Amino acid sequence: MERVLLNFPFVAAALLVGISLYIIIFKRNLIKLIMGISMMASGVNLFLVALGYRAEGNAPIYTEVPAGRMVLPVPQALTLTSIVINVAVLALMLTMVIQIYRHTGSLDAEKSRRMKG
């Protein structure tokens, strides 16, 4: 049972990535596409954080830490960096979608001339 619980985050991460892949490949609405990419980022981030977890571990904060082992801090640092990058990517993508909407009046990838493929 404990093994199942420990692997649970990985299952969730796989589900997130799988759903997001489905969205990215099959949905033609640009906003949905962005949501898919954002979800994929969440899935990968969850995977990274879950990697660093050690059973019964404390958060890796030195201030007033209880005795015992800590979870790995490096994956958490990676996740933070990746979140920051994703914020930038998300902002840029949304700006472009707003511009596309202004020019074409549509958010449908099929309707705009070059978004196919």
Partner 1 sequence: MATLITHSPILIIAIPLVAAFLTPLIGMAGSKARNTLVVVSLTFVAFLVFALARDVVANGIRVYTLGSASPSLTIPPGSMVPVRIILEVDAMSIFFGIIWAIVSLAAAMFSLSHIADETGQNRFYTLLLLMVTGGFGMMFTGDLFNLFVFLEIASISGGALIAFRTRSADTQEGGFKYIVVSAIAGLMILFATGLLYAQYNSLNMATLAHVIQFTASDKIALALLLVAFTMKTGMVPLHLWFPDAYSVAPASITGMLVITSHACMYAAFRVCFTLYGGVIDGLVVGWIIVITGLLTMFVGVTMAVFQKDVMRFMSYHAISQLGYMWVGVGVGLAVLGTPELGTYGRDAMTGGIFHILNHAMYKPLLFFTGGALFHCTGTRDLAKMGGLAHKMKWTAILYIIGTLSISGLPPLNGFSSKILIYESVYRFHPILTMTGIIVSILTLASFTKAFHSAFMGAELPEYEKVREVPRSMIIGMVILAAGIVFITLFPAQVVGWILRPAANALIDQGAYINAVMGAIP
Partner 2 sequence: MLSKIVRTVANQLFLFILVFGLYVIAHGHLTPGGGFQGGAVIVSGVVMLLVAFNSKELKKSLPERLLSIMESTGALIFAALAFAGIGTAFFYNLLVGTPIFGKIPPTGPGSGDFWTGGLVPLMNFAVGLKVMAGLSAVVLAMALFASGEEVEE
Binding site for partner 2 (CB under 8 A): 59, 61-65, 80, 84, 87, 91, 94-95, 98-99
Residue with tokens 């958490």: 76
Residue closest to 13 by CA, chosen among 37, 48, 38: 48
- Shortest gap between Cβ of 87 and partner 2 (angstroms)? 8
For residue 106, the surrounding DSSP H or E stretch is none
Return the one option of partner 1, partner 2, none that residue 63 interacts with (CB less than 5 to 8 A, by type). Answer: partner 2
Considering beta carbons, is residue 21 or 82 the nearer one to partner 2? 82
Angle between helices 30-51 and 73-104 in degrees, nearest 10: 180
**For residue 70, what are the CA distances in angstroms to 7, 52, 62, 74, 79?**
19, 10, 10, 12, 17
Report the interface residues with partner 1, using CB under 8 A.
17, 24, 30, 33, 37, 40-41, 44, 47-48, 51, 74-75, 78, 81-82, 85-86, 88-89, 92-93, 96-97, 99-100, 103-104, 112-115, 117
Considering beta carbons, is residue 6 or 91 the nearer one to partner 2? 91
Return the one option of partner 1, partner 2, none that residue 103 interacts with (CB less than 5 to 8 A, by type). Answer: partner 1
Considering beta carbons, is residue 19 or 78 the nearer one to partner 1? 78
Q: How far apart are CA 17 and CA 39, in angstroms?
A: 7
Q: Enumerate the β-bridge partners of residue 58.
A: 70
